[in-house]
Copies of this chain bind each other. A is one copy, B any other.
Amino acid sequence: MSKTNKLTIGLFGFGVVGEGIYQVLQQTPSLNATIKKVCIKDPLKKRSIPDELLTTDPMLILNDPEINIVVELINHASDAYAIVTTALRKKKAVLSANKAMIAEHLGELLQLQKLYDVPLLYEAAVCGSIPIIRNLEEYYDNDLLQGVCGIVNGSTNYILTKLIDEKMEYKTALLQAQANGFAETDPTLDVKGFDAVNKLTILLLHSYGIITSPLKLLHAGIDRIHAHDALFAASKNWQIKLTAQAKKLSESKVAAFVLPQFVTQESQLFGVRNEYNGVVLQSSFADKQFLYGKGAGRYPTASAVLSDISALRFDYRYEYRKYHRAVTGSVLCNDYFLCLYVSFDAISDIALQDFELIEEFRTHPERSYVVGIISYAKLLRSTWVALPTVSIIVCPDGVIENMEALSLKKKSLELAGVKFKEPVKEAIDLIE
């Protein structure tokens, strides 16, 4: 029914995923796709493919008119940027898994696709094997999508699972994640939330048509989660997950951030363990939907690239409809509130007066904590939230849309018998 294109691939990078793609393509001859050349950095490293496929010269791929697909799977973001943009200018279809590069250059990459009339697909860049971008593009219409909340980083989820469920030491868990090929070469990209915020940037475009920079989004990772936070979660039968979320607040306003979050047993994210990823989509009429799959590792990532290769046979491309549908343009906003759990070593580490109200406050020589509501705008400006001795975790249903919702929350807490006071006074009372 559809025409099918013969695909001749130039591959950049032959690391864990690149090698996965090569193996996977050899096992799926029906795809009618062949790798003509593989560009690598280090010619001396031993590889599992014939020497004649290898080159260290990118132009051998980029200038080859027979190669109609460039698959970019290298780590280095600025090299990846040069390869991807050059390939698009040379009217080659491009597949990339480089979330950092894509997130940073979204606007330009959209323009290049339009200008040179070639597709750039990057399903593998977000949530590994889960077809989240394709589904957001094709199935979840802008007006209906109320929120996206996901575990988008397999490495940190693996570490959190080992820390919380198996009481493993942080360092051991990190080493194990690296040994299994789930973690980035530089683990700080994962554990400090940089990887997740890059993915959130891409999700924002496909969820709400918003182009922003990862630098503008609040994010924290899992590296400051304290043993006492895990105990607190366990006492409530909650899990701690690093979530990337975007939530529609009103007609055009969207809240977005990457933060650790307490997750209750009712949430589909509760059971997402190890290197798995999961995304909950909330829509007006379908209510909650959930997509789950492996988010990291050689074959899951290769599988996502493979699905993109398969899509190129049928001329698939992202249409970016939500971005182009200017009338209903959504914008990021800061004027909402978050219900946060904050743990810290010393009271001087945090600024209690930043809270709108405090629900709970416990001091302890080893580790103290406060549960309260704080404005997102204030959180963005505060420096204490980034201190190494301070751990911040969003409470379940922690997004409070506006002042009105805050008043309602306050009232319901009062009715429930929570005796909160003005933040500063509360702090003084408790310290006394």
Contacts and interface: CB of A to CB of B under 8 A. Distances in A.
A1 B321 CA distance: 8
Interface stretch (A23-31, A83-91, A219-227): A23-31
B314 A286 contact: no
A26 to B, nearest CB: 12
Max chain B Cβ within 10 angstroms of own Cβ: one of A141, A286, A290, A294: A286
A350 B268 CA distance: 41
Interface stretch (A69-77, A296-304, A376-384): A296-304
B30 A143 contact: yes
Nearest to A323: B1
Nearest to A283: B303
Contact of A2 (B131, B288, B310, B321): B321
Contacts of A134: 135, 138-139
A408 to B, nearest CB: 24
A139 B307 contact: yes
A285 B23 CA distance: 10
Nearest to A291: B291
A314 B141 CA distance: 13
Nearest to A24: B285
Interface string A257-280: 000000000001001000000000
A324 interface: yes
Contact of A284 (B27, B114, B320, B325): B27
A292 interface: yes
A299 B287 contact: yes
Contacts of A287: 129, 293-294, 299-300
B310 A292 contact: no
A237 interface: no
B294 A141 contact: no
Contacts of A291: 289-292
Contacts of A140: 307
A327 interface: yes
Interface residues of A, number: 54
Contacts of A310: 141
A199 to B, nearest CB: 17
Given A268-B292, A287-B294, A300-B286, A319 B129 contact: no
A306 interface: yes
Contact of A307 (B30, B131, B141, B320): B141
Contacts of A139: 131, 134, 307
A391 interface: no
A311 interface: yes
A101 interface: no
A375 interface: no
Contact of A289 (B130, B138, B283): B130
A231 interface: no
B285 A300 contact: yes
A418 interface: no
B2 A319 contact: yes
Given A139-B307, A143-B28, A285 B299 contact: yes
A328 interface: yes
Given A30-B328, A134-B135, 18 more contacts: A2-B319, A28-B143, A30-B325, A30-B327, A128-B286, A129-B285, A131-B139, A134-B139, A140-B307, A285-B302, A285-B303, A286-B294, A286-B299, A287-B300, A288-B294, A290-B290, A291-B291, A314-B319
Interface of A: 1-2, 20, 24, 27-28, 30-31, 114, 128-131, 134-135, 138-144, 268, 271, 283-294, 299-300, 302-304, 306-307, 310-311, 314, 316, 319-321, 324-325, 327-328
17 contacts: A1-B321, A20-B285, A30-B325, A31-B141, A129-B285, A129-B287, A138-B311, A138-B316, A141-B306, A283-B303, A284-B303, A285-B302, A287-B293, A289-B291, A290-B290, A291-B291, A291-B292
Task: Please list the 9 inter-chain residue pairs (A to B) with the smallest Cβ-Cβ separation, ordered nearest first.
Answer: A129-B286, A285-B303, A289-B293, A286-B303, A290-B292, A285-B299, A131-B139, A1-B319, A286-B300
